[in-house]
Amino acid sequence: MRQIPFGLKQEENCQFNEGQLKNELSSSDLVMLDNPHTPTIQGFPRKTLLSLIDDNPQNCLMMDESYLAFVDLDSSNSLVPTIRPNLIALKTVTMSHGWLGLGPNYFAGSNLDRHSFLARRFSPTLVLGWAQQTGLELVHQEPTVQREEIADFRHEILPQLQCHSHLNIIPCNAPYNLLQVTSELFATLKKQHSAIDLTMSWGEHYSGLTDNHLHIALWHHEGLQRFLSVLKQLEY
């Protein structure tokens, strides 16, 4: 695996250099790109990324959907779907792999052998955070069965979440939901997090979002049961 640094933004107009990326995809094992949602690399449109994924099925892409800081939740282009055969989506893969200092990055590989190796290397238990925790299994390990299982689980769990006054569930990229929580619940979760593994991440006032938001992967049964127990405590 080799790393090839190159600039994606053309000097004259600061636009994303799509052609250069295509050339690198065809000749490199792994191409690392800056996250397009950071303030300094906003010339990398999400639609362009989706087009590259769909137009280059022979290539595999590994990408890090860290947070929703630069995502428009009302846009049809807001979240990159994980159900694609040539896409692995992870959160902060640099931390999981020990590449500290790189920060959130997009990863792209040029062959499916490399893609399979990385898929085996990273599992939901190794990748931190809410976003795309089950993306690898959804895409690469019997996706139809797992999608059905997650759908059944959502049917079981969502009614329990919806009955709590502390939550406002915002539909987003299945099998995930964005939960907007009250300040009381937010404070309680932060206080208890050191003792309870809720398998989620939260942040106060993400750029582009309002109030406090909690992100949770609805597939994780044990974490959700603990989460529901916290909600139950608040009802009394």
Q: Do residues 155 and 53 both lie within one domain?
A: no
Give pLDDT, residue 133: 30
- 8 A C-beta contact, residue 71 and residue 65: no
pLDDT score for 108: 42
Based on the fold, state whether residues 29 and 97 are members of the same structural domain.
Answer: yes
Residues 135 and 61 reside in one and the same domain: yes
The pTM assigned to this predicted structure is 0.35
Q: Which two tokens stand for residue 112?
A: 């499916």
Quick check: is 1 in a domain? no
Domain boundary among 92, 111, 141: 141
In 3D space, the residue among 79, 54, 53, 75 whose CA is nearest the CA of residue 66 turns out to be 79
Residue 3 placed within a domain? no
pLDDT in tens, the chain (236 residues): 344 444 444 444 445 566 766 776 766 555 555 454 444 344 455 666 667 777 877 666 665 544 333 333 333 333 344 445 565 555 444 333 333 333 333 444 444 454 455 555 443 333 333 223 323 222 233 334 344 554 565 566 667 666 766 666 655 443 344 455 565 665 666 565 543 333 333 333 333 333 344 444 444 455 556 666 666 666 65
126 shares its domain with 137: yes
